[in-house]
Amino acid sequence: MQQLRTLIVLGFSVSFLFFSCNNKSSAENRGKDTVSDNGGTSGASSNGDASFSCMLDGKEFSGSGTDENINAAFHLKGDDKGQIFFRLSDLKEPGEKLMFEVPGKKGSTTLSATSTFSYIGYITKGYINYLDNPLTVTITSINAARVSGTFSGKYTLSEGSGDSKAKETIAVTEGKFDIPFSTSADWKKLYNAE
């Protein structure tokens, strides 16, 4: 788990470089439909469209599109096998981000900051770190190409964040996401993902 956290932090640093050098979309896949696990059609491609939105501390936070790292999910392997990891961020301003690691199946998971499961859940534009405490994520649809769901709860200021003016807690409400699984071999390798 510690190795994954280190890789995630490294991945975010690299993603800024990658994003600025490779801001291409997968045009050949746009417009293709994928079948969801309930037999319906999502209307989005496995590599193209991604979206999320929520209310953070009463303000809208949303984004769309993916660069195969931001707004894309990963099936983890190793000690975290069975889990999925994803990061939600506005591609135009990727500094502010929400991060999740949950079981890769339909259902609800409540996350809280504990000694065994506390990674940074929300990072502000000013790089202030908040932990899930508690936050509920519900996977409503998942297949080989996409995952979608909802989330809500609160984030608690991480100890040692260094900003005395930061709020102790931030509420997140009305959260929803619909994102593809990444097909990038490079990002999968970085995150130790399948």
Residue 6: per-residue pLDDT: 38
Range of the domain at 157: 2-24+51-190
How far apart CA 128 and CA 145 sit, in angstroms, is: 32
The domain tally of the chain equals 1
Q: Is residue 42 assigned to a domain?
A: no
Residue 114: per-residue pLDDT: 62
**Whole-structure pTM value:** 0.74
Residue 162: per-residue pLDDT: 66
Q: Is residue 29 assigned to a domain?
A: no
Q: Is residue 32 assigned to a domain?
A: no
Residue 42: per-residue pLDDT: 34
Q: Is residue 83 assigned to a domain?
A: yes
Q: Is residue 34 assigned to a domain?
A: no
Q: Is residue 115 assigned to a domain?
A: yes
Q: Is residue 38 assigned to a domain?
A: no
DSSP state of 182: P
Q: Is residue 84 assigned to a domain?
A: yes
Residue 119: per-residue pLDDT: 58
How far apart CA 137 and CA 122 sit, in angstroms, is: 14
Q: Are 35 and 41 in contact (CB under 8 A)?
A: yes
Residue for token pair 């099936």:
75
Best CA proximity match to 123, nearest among 52, 61, 73: 61
State which residues of the chain have pLDDT below 50: 1-47, 115-118
Q: Which value, in Å, is the radius of gyration of the alpha carbons in the chain?
A: 16
Residue 70: per-residue pLDDT: 96
Residue 164: per-residue pLDDT: 73
